[in-house]
Amino acid sequence: MDKTTHFGYKQVDVGKKQGLVKGVFDSVAGKYDLMNDVMSMGTHRLWKNYTIASSNVSEGDHVLDIAGGTGDLAIKFRKKVGASGKVILSDINGSMLNEGRKNLINHGIIDVDFIQANAESLPFEDNTFDCVSIAFGLRNVTNKDIALQQMYRVLKKGGTLLILEFSKVENEMLKKIYDLYSFNVIPKFGEFFANDEDSYQYLAESIRKHPDQETLKAMTLDAGFGFCEYHNLTGGIVALHKAIKT
Amino acid sequence: MFRLAIEKALNHMINVNSINIERLDNSLISLYVDDIDLKIFFLCLNSRIFVIENSEQKDANVDITLNKKAFLSLFKGTSFEDLIESEEIEVNGSIKTAQQLADLFALSSIDIEELISQYTGDVIAYQLGRTIEKIKSATKHDKDSFVENLKNEFTTLLIAPSRSKFFKKRAS
């Protein structure tokens, strides 16, 4: 019998999760940025700015943005690394990569490479990047431990891994409000703005199934990183984990 | 935010001035400001500095212990040797490595007093409460003296908290 894993609150065969996640992102790709703005009331931009500020990326660095989607982080990284640096935007989903390509061209950026790749088997040599980022992507990866080991492998010594992801809300009152919002309001936004309630129901469920801050930190250290710290944003709705390869 | 602000400022300064920090590479330096109980670690790797909390509790190559006054003066360019001679800084490990980190502090344009004041804001607020209580009890029979003492103590506390007799008592 095949092993199972979670897809939102459902248990599915491990081999099927990737296809199901692909279905979600194929469906939402065209409205992804709009929905991010609507759902987070624009706050996702602050979370991403904080991620960039924490990245310790400088001119000339090589950066890999995994699950880079519509390219929000890649655009900001491109500015930081300058002409002597390099940014690669990767995503497992072709529809999201297409949206990213359009978005970057609209920003006048043509020197970012796009690679369709699975985070569990990154097609890069060891010790290639100064920084690897994954924003709101890790929870959709089937085998997170393998993906973290891959991120470790492709980072140089002294390279930084940044994981921006939904996490566990610490405050009980905020948690109640957040649960009410994400299970009752977000799927309705999805239906209204993207004509897709199910995908946004999956979003709310997948967040609850994602490892909490301390668990993810432990997973990151297990993958080989020497140091890992996290910073809760908006009361832990989102957390930024920053790990360093030593 | 305190650590992030220092990390950003140091790395910005290293990049802008093309400072070679190769000699610090692979070092983990612990810095402890004892009178405000501030402990931070500087990890130097990949030609950059990470300012971390080291929750993994890895052993540092160099341990620097100093008081707040000495910490602030490092950022104002006070000679590291002078501070060691006057026993305001204690170093365990390579003094050269500690000196190199101190040199970076001196070159940076970090508004360390502002950062420290944010960090110690809660300590000062606590002290302020205690100060009021002490002045009240010391001058409860003399209203004019109470107001004067309050003014003086507030002024000292707000401008130079370390000179406040109440703050000094706590730090000792």
Give B-chain residues touching A58 at CB under 8 angstroms: 11, 15, 48
Among the partner-chain residues A54, A58, A156, the one whose CB lies closest to the CB of B15 is A58
Residue A150 pLDDT exceeds 90: yes
Among the partner-chain residues B4, B45, B48, the one whose CB lies closest to the CB of A53 is B4
Give B-chain residues touching A157 at CB under 8 angstroms: 45-46
**Residue B95, min C-alpha distance to chain A (Å):** 23
Predicted local distance difference test score (pLDDT) of residue A65: 97
Cβ-proximal residues to A119 (8 Å cutoff; 6+ apart), any chain: A66, A67, A90, A92, A134, A137, A138, A141, A147, A150, A151
ipTM: 0.85
Strand A113-116 to strand A155-166: parallel, antiparallel, or no bridges (unpaired)? unpaired
Among the partner-chain residues B7, B46, B54, the one whose CB lies closest to the CB of A156 is B46
Tokens 């190559």 sit at which residue?
Answer: B61
A73-128 confidence digits (pLDDT tens): 999 999 999 999 999 999 999 989 999 999 999 999 999 999 999 999 999 999 99
Hey, is A123 helix, strand or coil? coil
A17-43 confidence digits (pLDDT tens): 787 777 777 777 777 777 788 788 888
Among the partner-chain residues A54, A158, A227, the one whose CB lies closest to the CB of B54 is A227
Among the partner-chain residues B4, B7, B45, the one whose CB lies closest to the CB of A246 is B45
Of residues A49 and A4, more confidently modeled: A49
Token pair for residue A52? 């960039």
- The rounded distance, in Å, linking the Cα atoms of B141 and B151 is 17
Of residues B127 and A45, more confidently modeled: A45
Residue A211 pLDDT exceeds 90: yes
Sheet holding A113-116, edge to edge: A113-116, A86-91, A62-66, A129-135, A155-166, A238-244, A227-233
**Residue B80, min C-alpha distance to chain A (Å):** 27
- The rounded distance, in Å, linking the Cα atoms of B46 and B59 is 19
Cβ-proximal residues to B3 (8 Å cutoff; 6+ apart), any chain: B40, B51, B52, B53
Give A-chain residues touching B43 at CB under 8 angstroms: 227, 244, 246
Of residues B169 and A227, more confidently modeled: A227
Predicted local distance difference test score (pLDDT) of residue A180: 87
A20 touches chain B (CB under 8 A): no
Q: Under an 8 A CB cutoff, do B8 and A221 touch?
A: no
For A140-154, the DSSP string reads: G-S-HHHHHHHHHHH
Q: How many CB pairs under 8 A join A and B?
A: 40
Predicted local distance difference test score (pLDDT) of residue A52: 95
Predicted local distance difference test score (pLDDT) of residue B139: 58
Q: How far is CA A78 from CA A43, A210, B11, B35, B114, in A?
A: 22, 29, 18, 42, 31
Hey, is A235 helix, strand or coil? helix
Predicted confidence pLDDT, tens digits, chain B (172 residues): 789 989 998 999 999 888 999 889 999 999 999 988 999 999 999 999 999 999 999 999 999 999 999 999 988 888 888 888 888 899 999 999 999 999 999 888 787 777 777 776 655 555 566 666 666 566 555 556 666 766 676 666 666 655 555 555 444 3
> What mean pLDDT is predicted for residues A183-210?
82
Residue A48 pLDDT exceeds 80: yes
Contact B6, B51 (CB under 8 A): yes
Tokens 């610490």 sit at which residue?
Answer: A170
End-to-end Cα, chain B, rounded Å: 28
Tokens 């996702």 sit at which residue?
Answer: A44
Predicted local distance difference test score (pLDDT) of residue B171: 43
A233 touches chain B (CB under 8 A): no
Nearest CA in chain A to B50: A56
Nearest CA in chain B to A242: B52
- The rounded distance, in Å, linking the Cα atoms of A69 and A97 is 6
Q: Under an 8 A CB cutoff, do A56 and B11 touch?
A: yes
Nearest CA in chain B to A156: B46
Q: Under an 8 A CB cutoff, do A227 and B46 touch?
A: no
Predicted local distance difference test score (pLDDT) of residue B141: 57
